[in-house]
Amino acid sequence: MSFATLLVYVENDGDLNGRVRLATGLADRFQSHMLGLAAWMPRPPFVVEGVVVDPEPTENEIREMKAVLEKRGERFKAAAEAGRRQVEWRSALEFPTEFVARQSRSADLIVIGRDRLPYDPYRFTDAGALILRAGRPVLMVPPGVQSLAAKRVVIAWKDAREARRAVQDALPFLHLANEVIILEACEAGSEQDAQQGIKDVASYLARHRIAVVAERVRPVDGTASNTLLRLVEEQSVDLIVAGGYGHSRLGEWVFGGMTQELLAKSPVCCLFSH
């Protein structure tokens, strides 16, 4: 199994960061086609009590926005075409999250960065919304990370549809790993059921010729994400595989949850599936 096409989102400002370098490295390893995307939605006029405070963009401003996106495409191609990989660029004057979600029909894996703060839906993607809507695995790359060896991978296991989907979507990475750790952070009294569950996952992976598997059941340390991130640090993990939004996104936003906390705090790349 492999990723035939990698989709990489490129913001329309700042330097082409490590995410593009990371994606080109993955494209070389998987012999993937690379699809670069950027989008920028013109802001509608802002009216307060009948007074136009911020008018709609002029034709000249629209041309400038298109020129910025075209320039980003040129820089992306220059960076990505250094090897023999196939590279394609697409851009649009649309909401970035909507554009990427729709274009995900062309890709096996979506590569994005951590959400920009303050968040601007006219210029930046919403990672959580993409996980829910893309129908493809989403690889979140934290700031400063420029490569992904995926030599030591942890599966954040929970016996739910999203985690099962994530394990299957991550198989190309798992085949390359030197060590795969299956971790379930469970409440007191449920250790036996958790152990049986991760044994089944290990057997599933073994039938996919992924034999280097360690099984871990740990008590929840405050939150499941705290337990997971502690293991990431202890074991020098460089990739987390997790189901995205096993609970509703609103519920995670209000009460906290694994997906929201990993998107905000993880020091290593995370592959999410929903």
pLDDT, position 46: 64
Domains of the chain by start residue, with CATH? 5-141 (3.40.50.620), 152-273 (3.40.50.620)
d(CA 110, CA 108): 7
Whether residue 182 has pLDDT greater than 60: yes
- The per-residue b/e assignment along 113-150, b for 16 or more CB within 10 angstroms, e otherwise, is bbbbeeeeeebbbbbbbbbbbbebbbbbbbeebeebeb
Q: Dump pLDDT digits (tens) for 243-264.
A: 998 765 544 443 348 899 999 9
Asked which of 165-174, 187-196, 219-228 is least confident by mean pLDDT, the reply is 187-196
pLDDT, position 256: 47
Whether residue 103 has pLDDT greater than 60: yes
Residue 90 exposed, middle or buried by CB count within 10 Å (0-12, 13-18, 19+): middle
In 3-state terms, the chain is what percent helix, strand and coil (to 5)? 40, 25, 35
Confidence category of residue 190, pLDDT binned at 50, 70, 90: confident
Whether residue 19 has pLDDT greater than 80: yes
pLDDT (average), residues 223-232? 91
Whether residue 189 has pLDDT greater than 80: no
d(CA 211, CA 198): 14
Whether residue 177 has pLDDT greater than 60: yes
User: Which is more confidently placed, 14 or 94?
Assistant: 94
Asked which of 11-25, 70-84, 132-146, 244-258 is least confident by mean pLDDT, the reply is 244-258
Whether residue 211 has pLDDT greater than 90: no
d(CA 263, CA 181): 20
pLDDT, position 258: 87
Q: How far is CA 220 from CA 186, 228, 229, in A?
A: 6, 9, 12
pLDDT, position 30: 95
Confidence category of residue 192, pLDDT binned at 50, 70, 90: confident
